[in-house]
Amino acid sequence: MAEFSITIKGLSLKKSELAESDLALLNAAEEASKNAYAPYSQFFVGAALKLINGTIVLGTNQENVAYPSGLCAERVALFSAATNYPNETVHTMAITVNTAKAAISEPLSPCGSCRQVIMEYQNKQKSPIRLVLGGQGDTVWVFEDASNLLPFGFEAEYLKG
């Protein structure tokens, strides 16, 4: 049996250490989370994408009583950007959560489905998507490439015969 390990490359910062543009994007995600529809989980997620042309696209999680009919904030934002700005590159995505149920002091990580979708869009645009992840605390994680969150992502090349 051979053992192996994986290194995830990212930065752990305080909000005060973020670049002004990243802090503004994270604040936009936090503001968007207030518009999430999460009556069942009370877990309000906001995502804000910054396109290469400077446009900001927002997304919020949308729950449905017929689970899993809802959609995560990250996918709402990505799908909206792809629909409304089909030829623009996503530069950075900020994601955050707020909930009264428990303090989420550590940064929020996207679910597995969202990680896979983010990777698909990163591969489609042939350039990395930076991720700025926050929670209700002061710690923020920054990843220069979304592949750091999904080291074993399912790739389109696997489907080729």
Residues involved in catalysis: 74
- Tell me which amino acid residue 70 is: G
Alpha helices in the chain (DSSP H): 20-33, 73-84, 112-125
Contact present, 77 and 45 (Cβ < 8 Å): no
Find the radius of gyration of the CA atoms of the chain: 16
